[in-house]
Structure 1
């Protein structure tokens, strides 16, 4: 198993397969996707070697991310590759949902266990303002299709922002009252290009936590392969609420995930200074060399990010690594 100098064990891989996205979310790609490099994204064989190397080291869960991962024509083949990797017990994906309704059943048949869908507003007009696309109805239809598809879990991700959807928190709570779904709120994070936006729109996750606890919500225990969200349940609600609070105390203490970017760089943290290129090792006939490199580089993982000091590392926008 991969264990870093802080004693943290890693069972969860976030694998980005493209940094291209077709939405223009105000907190991520407000000007749309800008290609500054060749689109030489990981091939299916490189992905397969990567999955086998991480699984050898005890990774049990893989989340396929982007950009928007479903834009890749071989997205369903990536799902199959993950599902067929010995040791991988859960295959998840994160999507903006634009093609969810059309494709979710074929993805489930290929081996997808869980999906997270990005929806930042329940108001179609605000959804359009945030994403740059009038796709609210089709995305919500995709959510309902996902709930009917046999997936183990369906979750929705939202970034709350003061000047946009910050007043919608009660609407989100009401929505999960009669639906078996987890709605997760991701605290807006500072990146290299969004300081002014961050200062105007950041909402503290800890304040949301206080609100939930005061309203009778209880935090539930996190599984060993779960992501960073603190999930809360309420006896009067079918659904749950999740909070991802990177600015909270000891957020990094429970870190159990590593990231591989779409062109083969290992990121020990979302906010690391730079990625570590592993692509040469991904191209070998067998994963042994990559297995050895992973064991070596895990020793370089730092105990915490430096977001509290305004240092976001090399992350210019979240589509780089899929969050």
Structure 2
């Protein structure tokens, strides 16, 4: 199993398969996707080598991210190759949901076992203001279809924004009272391109946590393959709630995930410096060489990010690595 010099073990890979995104979220890509850079994303064959190498090193969960992974026409094939790789127990997808309703049946059949969908507001007009698209009703219909198919791990992600959706907390809670869906509030993170927006809109997730605990919500014990969210349940609610709070104390202490960019760079932290290029081994279909390159890179993983010191590394926007 992969481990670092701080005793942390890594069984969870966030695998970006494209950095392109068709939404214009005000906290990430307010001016839209920049098409000027290379779009030579990892091929299906390269991805297969990558997944087999990580599985050999003990990786059990793969989350496919973007940009927007739904833009890749071979997404169904990518889900299938992950699912069919011995050792991979869970294949998850994070998406903005723009084509979820149309494709969820095929993705589920290919082996998708967990789904995270971005929904930064439950009000269609505010959703369009934040994302630049009138897609909310279609996205919610896709989530409903995923429930009908029996996908058990369905989550809706919302980035907390002081000037936009922060006041909608009670609306979200009312929505999950009769729905078996988890809402996850993500604390806005400072990145290279959003410094002014961050100062104007950052909300501490701890404020939400204290509100939940004061109103009968109880914190759950994490599953070993779970991500960084603190999760809560309420006996009177069918749905649950999660908080991702990167500015909280000891956030990095339980880190169990690595990240791969869509162009073959291994990132040890979302807020680290430039990634480590392992694509030559992927192109050569060299599983053992890939394993060795990954293991060597782990020597450089640091104990914690430096967000508290306003050091955001090389991350310009969250679409680069899927957050």
TM-score of the two chains, using structure 2 as the length reference: 0.99
1:236 and 2:242 matched: no
| Aligned positions, number | 323
Q: Quote the Cα distance in structure 2 between the aligned partners of 1:8 and 1:78.
A: 28
CA contact (8 A) 2:156 2:183 kept: yes
Equivalence for 1:200:
200
Equivalence for 1:279:
279
Q: Structure 1: state its 5+ residue gaps.
A: none
Q: Quote the Cα distance in structure 1 between the aligned partners of 2:286 and 2:197.
A: 45
Q: Quote the Cα distance in structure 1 between the aligned partners of 2:298 and 2:150.
A: 36
CA contact (8 A) 1:21 1:319 kept: yes
Q: Deviations over 1:177-198 (max 9, x none)?
A: 1111100000000001111100
Q: Quote the Cα distance in structure 2 between the aligned partners of 1:19 and 1:195.
A: 21
Equivalence for 1:55:
55
Alignment of 1:159-198 (within 5 A): 159-198=159-198
Alignment of 1:1-323 (within 5 A): 1-323=1-323
Q: Structure 2: state its 5+ residue gaps.
A: none
Q: Quote the Cα distance in structure 1 between the aligned partners of 2:83 and 2:143.
A: 22
Q: Quote the Cα distance in structure 2 between the aligned partners of 1:221 and 1:140.
A: 28
Q: Secondary structure at the match of 1:148?
A: helix
Q: Quote the Cα distance in structure 2 between the aligned partners of 1:284 and 1:151.
A: 36
How far has the Cα of 1:35 moved from its partner? Answer: 2.0
Q: Quote the Cα distance in structure 1 between the aligned partners of 2:298 and 2:286.
A: 20
Q: Secondary structure at the match of 2:155?
A: strand
CA contact (8 A) 2:14 2:62 kept: yes
How far has the Cα of 1:167 moved from its partner? Answer: 0.4
Q: Quote the Cα distance in structure 1 between the aligned partners of 2:7 and 2:38.
A: 38
How far has the Cα of 1:92 moved from its partner? Answer: 0.3
CA contact (8 A) 2:46 2:285 kept: no
How far has the Cα of 1:56 moved from its partner? Answer: 0.7
Q: Quote the Cα distance in structure 1 between the aligned partners of 2:81 and 2:122.
A: 35
Q: Deviations over 1:259-281 (max 9, x none)?
A: 00000000000000111111001
Q: CA RMSD in A?
A: 0.7
Q: Structure 1 stretches (4+) deviating beyond 6 angstroms? A: none
CA contact (8 A) 1:108 1:150 kept: no
